[in-house]
Amino acid sequence: MSLLVTGSIGIDTVKTPFGFSENCVGGSAVHFSMAANFFSPVRFLGVVGDDCPFDLHETFEGKDVDLEGLEIRQGSKTFRWQGSYEGEMNEANTDGVELNVLAEDPPAVPDAYKDSEYVFLANTAPSLQIQLLDQLSGTKFVAADTMNHWIVTAIDDLKELLKRIDMLVINEGEARLLTGHRNLMTAAQNIIDMGPKVVIIKKGEYGSMMCNADGDCFILPAFPTAIVIDPTGAGDSFAGAMMGYLAETNKLDVISLRNAIVYGTVAASFTIGDFSVHGIKAIDKADLEERFDTLRKVTLF
């Protein structure tokens, strides 16, 4: 099945206890696509300015990622993010952000993308996510991500978006902020009441949980890896592998959702092993399958 992602393309500068990476390729759509293409061809929709220092065609060389939807906007500047991590590296400190092209109109959806069946609206302003969704026809399953900033500044737009999507991917702090509930089970049910049939709450090093409108719940720990260099993009890689698997299988039953979450978890475990996209770009599908089997064994009881 066809899979479309729309989100940010960023110039990242990241500092962690294990090193420093300056002006590297980043952004939600980039990390998502690196993970998703292991399972499904990806239709990539995003925009950069004419100052972008890297060539995404080279970044995705050999990957099943269609860049027809990539716009290089003349006279605009590329989104930039500067962040740092300390201690357990469970949360990024945003040290600087320049929205630049992300504060402008979203890219137009190419005609060839408008029939996309599986769609992921990566983190950006909810109003822009809605505008992009309005350009599509025939969607089968739409998932979205968001962040604290939009929950605080654009809650009405976000609630409108939630009525139109099938799944929300959100972290535990965002879930509590959005719902006002400390208990994550209560928060998950509250989000489902807002519209999505499925909610996935990410808990960093403690894994993730999934709840759906049928009352099913699935809780999975993070993959037990000793190598954590840079967590940037882990959540987007998680979403990418998860959506890629669902698009590949074209199944949305609870078992398929659980398997998708496992693949998302192991994809994230590779992303955190290096800066930028280097960790997940260096692996192949067999590496994902090996960690999938390992995670199944260590959680079996």
What average pLDDT does the segment 232-250 reach? Answer: 97
pLDDT value of residue 228: 92
pLDDT value of residue 1: 84
What's the whole-model pTM score?
A: 0.95
Give the whole-angstrom CA distance, residue 126 versus residue 98.
Answer: 18
Percent of the chain residues topping a pLDDT of 70: 100
pLDDT higher than threshold 90 for residue 46: yes
Strand ranges (DSSP E) for the chain?
Answer: 3-6, 10-16, 19-26, 42-49, 65-73, 79-84, 93-98, 118-121, 141-145, 167-171, 198-202, 208-212, 217-220
Mean pLDDT of the chain: 95
- pLDDT tens across 100-153, in order? 999 898 899 999 999 999 999 998 889 989 999 999 998 999 999 998 889 999
Task: Give the CATH fold of the 3-299 domain.
Answer: UDP-N-acetylmuramoyl-L-alanine:D-glutamate ligase (3.40.1190)
Give the whole-angstrom CA distance, residue 301 versus residue 289.
Answer: 20
pLDDT: which is higher, 89 or 218: 218
pLDDT higher than threshold 90 for residue 6: yes
Count of residues making up the chain:
301
pLDDT value of residue 212: 97
Least confident of 25-29, 89-93, 140-144: 89-93
pLDDT higher than threshold 90 for residue 93: no
* Domain boundaries of the chain, sorted by first residue: 3-299
- Confidence tier at 277 by pLDDT (50, 70, 90): very high
pLDDT higher than threshold 90 for residue 204: no
What average pLDDT does the segment 10-22 reach? Answer: 95
